[in-house]
Amino acid sequence: MSSSNVQLPNVVDEKSFDENGNSNVKVNTLISPPSNSPVDIQLVNKKVSTFIMSVFKDSSELNVSDDVKNTIKLINEQAASTVASVNTILSEILDDNKLDITEVPKLVLLVNTLITSDLKVLLDNRKLQVAEVICLVEALLKSLIDKAFVVVENNEQVFKLYQSSVALLKGAANIKDEVSKIEEFIVNVLTGKDVDTNKLNLDSNVVELIKLINKEAKSVINLIKNTVNDVLHDGKLDASDVPKLVLLITTLMNSELKNLLVGGKIKLDDIVNLIKSLLKGLIDNSLMIVDNAESIYKLFDASLLLLQTKFEVPSVSSLTACCVPIFEMISKKK
């Protein structure tokens, strides 16, 4: 009897043909497996896959938060390839119809894959946050469990481990995101874009300095941006950052601003006040925090005093008067 005539109970037949045109039966899935039989992997994959595709097609009936639904909508509109990635990886992770702690590392890998490839552009453009990607994956898992497509032992333990594991990804992304916000703030201030100078309470001389920078010393913008980014890459200002800030001021004195200083168009006070205003603005906008403020102020003040003896620049003698303590306005925040 040829294989094409074999009729097995409770199976779905898929016919294929060899090069001679002979048909063969390929057993794909058990329709109603006995209770003592293992669940067929392909059936599980199909259920998971079908559910995921339906969710991304229409999430209106899904029992998830509006934030998750908005994430799904955004993905459909601007990162459709993500659907295939989620579908493929989740189906593989849940190929045994179960979710346990051994699957958590794979779930973390799924999140990492999404944020570093499929959704990277949306994240970089700040249309999406890593936390929202994490919530999406968790919501899909919980929905699969609610639909009985997947069973889980010790639900609380699995999701607690998932959250603690992806926290590292979230932390790294938050730092990167904060650096991006710091950079955006600095550039906006120095270019006068989307910034209310009255709200920042900028000194009139600082406002004039910003105008001169854009007119005669544009390279200074990147110099300040890159230095402050380096100083605040961890979102904090501490004692180890003080030498970098002092170096920034001395570097600015010898940059394109040197001609403006020598020509008397600006004073050193203005440069220092500009940096001070940027730092204060970053604090006011919760883009950075200051640890052990008093010791930082003293160290910064002491370091600035050295400039008096090392540089001959117009108005350098007024440095101490304008900057001691340079963080006086910042200390009021503490």
Segments of the chain with pLDDT less than 70 = 1-45, 168-180, 194-199, 234-235, 292-294, 297, 306-334
Mean pLDDT (the chain, rounded): 74
For the segment 220-249, what is each residue's pLDDT rounded down to a tens digit? 998 998 888 778 776 678 888 888 888 888
Contact (Cβ atoms closer than 8 angstroms) between residue 176 and residue 78: no
For the segment 315-332, what is each residue's pLDDT rounded down to a tens digit? 433 443 444 444 454 445
For the segment 268-281, what is each residue's pLDDT rounded down to a tens digit? 888 888 888 888 78
Residue whose C-alpha is closest to residue 186's, from 289, 277, 297: 277
Contact (Cβ atoms closer than 8 angstroms) between residue 110 and residue 89: yes
What SS3 state is found at 135?
helix
What pLDDT is recorded for position 165? Answer: 80
Chain centroid to Cα 189, Å, comes to: 23
CA angle 30, 35, 38 (to 5 degrees): 55
Amino acid, res. 184: E
What is the reported pTM? 0.45
Contact (Cβ atoms closer than 8 angstroms) between residue 323 and residue 270: no
